[in-house]
């Protein structure tokens, strides 16, 4: 039995196609993280189990709830803007029949479409995502921002990719950066990140630029690739700038002695 879990918040524009591509599964589960649009109504038409979530806000918590609710022997995590292709569907159905108990998880390659163009650089392909699990092997998800699974067994790779349609404008991407950078800055504070200064800012920005533009060759995706790479540099800067801001609010360690 295969269960598909989709985490959603106001995804009425995208979730129909995600559910349509995953309807071959034995069970569809939608984790409602605060839907106020037609997302749940659309999911109901596909006979999906809708789980209203009101706990801690993090991808790990959402994915763990999906793990708890799923009844299948196999569990596939899918985002609302992702699609299972016919070839991937066929491969998944063959794999879930596999009785090899040594496998814990399959990583699925992902084709990323950004600004209505498929990106093949800037770490956008093959962009393997650990998404298909033997449920008995998946213990839990950890991490408040960049969630990671804890599982038993071997990691293997699937051949056929899923499709990811990142239908966001630059303005929407910047809004997302503004929201999540607050969270990331707080995590760095909790990890006791060294105080930010000019050298650390320049070093962080240089490393990110080098990674995106030189190592990952973002320019090979054309002007859109360059724009996306520079957005990533900007996003990194915002996180560190908010870290600096939080550090300024911390009490000074300098003691003042009054005689």
**Section 41-59 average pLDDT:** 93
Quickly state the pLDDT bin for 251 (edges 50, 70, 90).
confident
Q: Is the pLDDT of residue 43 over 80?
A: yes
Q: Where are the domains of the chain?
A: 2-166, 170-249
**What does the pLDDT look like over 200-239, one tens digit per residue?**
999 999 999 999 999 999 999 999 999 999 999 999 999 9
Q: Is the pLDDT of residue 255 over 80?
A: no
CA separation, residue 151 to residues 67, 106, 126, 130, 232 (Å): 12, 11, 22, 11, 30
Least confident range from 140-144, 152-156, 193-197: namely 140-144
**Section 20-31 average pLDDT:** 98
Mean pLDDT across the chain, nearest whole number? Answer: 93
Starting from the edge strand earliest in sequence, which strands make up the sheet with 82-83, in order? 82-83, 162-166, 110-114, 117-118
Quickly state the pLDDT bin for 252 (edges 50, 70, 90).
low
In sequence order, what are the beta bridge partners of 107? 130, 157
**What does the pLDDT look like over 71-82, one tens digit per residue?**
999 999 999 999
The pLDDT assigned to 207 comes to 96
Cis peptide before 195 (omega within 30 of 0): no
The DSSP symbol for 41 reads H
The pLDDT assigned to 58 comes to 87
Quickly state the pLDDT bin for 11 (edges 50, 70, 90).
very high
Starting from the edge strand earliest in sequence, which strands make up the sheet with 129-134, in order? 49-52, 27-32, 2-8, 74-77, 129-134, 103-108, 154-157
- pLDDT > 90: what percent of the chain? 85
**Are 164 and 110 within 8 A, CB to CB?**
yes
**Section 153-168 average pLDDT:** 95
* 128 SS3 class: coil
**Section 98-112 average pLDDT:** 91
2-166: CATH class: alpha beta
Burial readout 125-136 (b: 16 or more C-beta within 10 A, e: otherwise): bebebbbbbbee
User: Taking Cα atoms as reference points, which of 60, 21, 68 lies closest to residue 162?
Assistant: 21
**Section 185-198 average pLDDT:** 94
Sole residue written with tokens 């990890």: 191
Q: Is the pLDDT of residue 159 over 80?
A: yes
The pLDDT assigned to 98 comes to 78
Least confident range from 54-58, 89-93, 200-204: namely 54-58
Maximum Cα interatomic distance, the chain, rounded to a whole number of Å: 79
């Amino acid at each position: 039995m295969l269960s598909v879990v989709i985490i959603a918040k106001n995804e009425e524009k995208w979730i129909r196609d995600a559910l349509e591509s995953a309807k071959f599964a034995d069970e569809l589960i939608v984790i409602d993280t605060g839907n106020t649009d037609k997302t749940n109504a659309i999911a109901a038409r596909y006979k999906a189990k809708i789980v209203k979530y009101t706990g801690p806000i993090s991808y790990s918590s959402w994915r763990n709830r999906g793990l708890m609710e799923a009844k299948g022997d196999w569990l596939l995590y899918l985002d609302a803007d992702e699609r299972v292709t016919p070839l991937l569907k066929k491969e998944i159905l063959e794999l879930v029949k596999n009785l090899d108990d040594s496998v814990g998880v399959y990583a699925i390659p992902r084709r990323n479409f950004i600004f209505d163009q498929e990106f093949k650089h800037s770490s956008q392909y093959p962009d393997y995502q650990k998404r298909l699990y033997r449920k008995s092997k998946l213990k839990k998800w950890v991490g408040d921002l960049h969630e990671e699974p804890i599982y038993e067994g071997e990691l293997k790779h699937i051949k056929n990719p899923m499709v990811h349609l990142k239908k966001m404008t630059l303005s929407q991407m910047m809004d997302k950066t503004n929201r999540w950078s607050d969270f990331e800055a707080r995590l760095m504070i909790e990890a006791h990140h060294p105080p930010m200064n000019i050298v650390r800012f320049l070093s962080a920005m240089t490393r990110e630029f080098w990674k995106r533009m030189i190592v990952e060759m973002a320019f090979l995706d054309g002007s859109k690739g360059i724009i996306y790479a520079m957005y990533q540099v900007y996003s990194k800067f915002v996180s560190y700038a908010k870290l600096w801001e939080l550090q300024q609010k911390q009490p000074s360690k300098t003691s003042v002695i009054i005689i």
